Structure 1
Amino acid sequence: MSISTATSPLRRWLPLGAAAALAAGATLVLRNVSPYASGSPLPSCPLYALTGLYCPGCGSTRCLHSLVHFDLAGAMAMNPLLVISLPFLLLMLLYGAGVRLRALDPLMRVLANPMFWLVLLVGYALLRNLPWAPFTALAPG
């Protein structure tokens, strides 16, 4: 048995295991610590603090807090892109671990393209900072 054969399953499943551990830890914290409380130890967005502009991640902590408290409407109000992206991120982790459905191959080719994510995140950041409807719905809160 060669070293590469022995580490191959570990390399495949490590990102999924790390994401699961991170999700479990975040769930534990967000079940017990509210980002809405004054003096909350959870960080706020440094870009928003410096510029007053929303980044693609603005509202993510409050969004995830709402999700772990089963408040989908609250989560969508804070960061709709994150809520919509979570299932696709899980699919990407599973795909990387070798769990593949042939029917999803075209979708996975799109999701695996860094340019897709760059355009999506930059476009989302621009749209959520526009001061008129319907784009104001993309801003946190």
Structure 2
Amino acid sequence: MQFPQHLLRYMPLAAIAGISVGAVAVLSRIDPNVPGNPLPPCPFYALTGLWCPGCGSTRCLHALVHLDLPQAMAMNPLLIVSIVPMLVMALHGAGLWPAKLGWLVRLFARPIPWLVLIVSYWLLRNLPWYPFNLLAPG
């Protein structure tokens, strides 16, 4: 039996929704800030001692689940900033984004600015000086 082709466009949105529900279920019960919690640490940080662009994401999402935006921003501001563009692109991919707002999708879907942003964030959050040290988790 073959999967209906017209439903394929909803798969990214369904995946985001499923992952979000799972993350909320886990992070509402488990606090990643507590030593010895069952959630895995960042392997890049464990190997290098440097923050990767995703470091602090679990603690950021935990803070969001508990509606603590300042704490979420302290853990990983890039994740907070990227949630809306990811949602916009997923809605567009499912055909649920208004055509009038297509300019916003074109703006968010440009890969070079994202690459520059992520690499810059990665480098800057590892600098030990103010204000760059504010980008490190916690």
Instruction: Say yes or no: TM over 0.5.
Output: yes
- Partner in structure 2 of residue 83 of structure 1: 80
- Partner in structure 2 of residue 118 of structure 1: 115
3-state secondary structure, aligned to 1:43: coil
Q: What is the deviation of 1:103?
A: 4.0
| Matched residue type, 1:86 | I
| Cα deviation digits, residues 63-104 of structure 1 (max 9, x gap) | 000000110011000001101111111111101101222443
Give TM-score scaled by structure 2 length.
0.92
CA distance in 2, matches of 1:105, 1:132: 40
Give TM-score scaled by structure 1 length.
0.90
Please say if residues 53 and 129 of structure 1, whose CA atoms lie closer than 8 Å, have aligned partners that are also in contact: yes
Please say if residues 13 and 97 of structure 1, whose CA atoms lie closer than 8 Å, have aligned partners that are also in contact: yes
| Matched residue type, 1:15 | P
CA distance in 2, matches of 1:138, 1:102: 35
CA distance in 2, matches of 1:38, 1:139: 19
- Pair 1:7 & 2:5 matched: yes
| Cα deviation digits, residues 101-125 of structure 1 (max 9, x gap) | 2443222113212222211111110
- Partner in structure 2 of residue 100 of structure 1: 97
- Pair 1:68 & 2:70 matched: no
Which sections of structure 1, spanning at least 5 residues, go unmatched?
A: none
Runs of 4+ in structure 1 over 6 Å off: none
Please say if residues 110 and 116 of structure 1, whose CA atoms lie closer than 8 Å, have aligned partners that are also in contact: no
| Matched residue type, 1:88 | P
| Matched residue type, 1:138 | L
**Over the residues paired in the alignment, what is the CA RMSD in angstroms?**
1.6
Seq. identity, % = 57
Say how many residue pairs are matched: 137
Which sections of structure 2, spanning at least 5 residues, go unmatched?
A: none
